[in-house]
Amino acid sequence: MQLRKIKISNLITANNVFLAPLAGYTNAVFREMCFSLGAGLTFTEMVSAKGLCYNSEKTKELLYITEGYSGVKACQIFGAEPNYMRAACESRELAPFDLIDINMGCPVPKIYKNGEGSALLNDFNLAFKIISECKKSGKAISVKFRIGLDDSHICAGEFAKMCEDAGADMICVHGRTRDKIYSGEVNFKQIAAAKAAVKIPVIANGGVFCKADAEKLLKETGADGIAAARGAMYNPWIFAEICGKPAGNKKALVGWQIEKTKELYGERFACVFMRKMLGFYLKGTHGAAESRERLFKCGTTDELVQLLNELPL
């Protein structure tokens, strides 16, 4: 695919291949890892605006930035109250971030029932107020949303135009409806409709698990760039593949990820998190089931590092 930089307000990304926000996965170490492999922009896990305003320590942990990360710093927030959303954008905790992304696409029932995430597709006026209030913070603002709630309520083009009119500097469109969660075909036509409706950059999201997927998504939608989510979770080297960069020594990089995660988040978190990540990385490898069985018996990061040398990565 054709790589190019994306201008978001006064920000310039390294390229147009992004790491999408992933709750529970896109922590500071994983973001640095993906950036080093070629991702042009990475986002934090989604952060509660209210949690920031009430000084939640767990919320603040989601905002760590490693010293080795040199790209545009982007944070995703969620919420349904414009005043809290703006206050979060103006908070001390988000001061280090250049770009604030507003989550208007999360399909999880807990988020949806609170009127947050994809529930905002139901209320254009409220979504407009949230975006315009966040824009008053002076930050560059992007919005990530889905093409609609279900096949009877598609609104990609209209919602995209509303985002632009409210002041958004970029949008990222997940090409599935809320009811599909993460399954089903990506609707290229609706992402294309969003692209046709606005002049700001449009990033296409959904179904990117290899370079061919990225190229097809870009070609079929006419979007300015793509964002990988689950594809990166299973295979962060996808960024090197798409960008034509050497993947390097995979085991050495995973070893670095284990040690850096331990350093930043502690032994217990690092062991549990990296067991899970290594389980993802093993997908499609020879004897993956047996390797996972051995993997989940590891009780320390030292044991993980020792096993890593024997895994078929």
Catalytic positions, written as ranges = 106
Neighbours of 219 (CB within 10 A): 12
> Residue type at 211?
K
Q: What are the backbone dihedrals phi and psi of residue 98, each rounded to the nearest 5 degrees, phi first? A: -85, -35
Structure tokens at 236: 């962060």
By DSSP bridging, strand 17-19 and strand 11-12 are unpaired
By DSSP bridging, strand 170-174 and strand 140-146 are parallel
Query: In sequence order, what are the residues at sequence separation of 6 or more whose Cβ sits closer than 8 angstroms to the Cβ of residue 48?
Result: 56, 59, 77, 78, 79
- In a 10 Å sphere around its CB, with 0-12 CB exposed, 13-18 middle and 19+ buried, how is residue 251 labelled? middle
Is residue 205 within 8 A of residue 175, CB to CB? The reply is yes
Query: In sequence order, what are the residues at sequence separation of 6 or more whose Cβ sits closer than 8 angstroms to the Cβ of residue 235?
Result: 209, 280, 281, 283
CA end-to-end span of the chain: 26
Q: What is the SS3 assignment for 101?
A: strand
Query: In sequence order, what are the residues at sequence separation of 6 or more whose Cβ sits closer than 8 angstroms to the Cβ of residue 287?
Result: 312
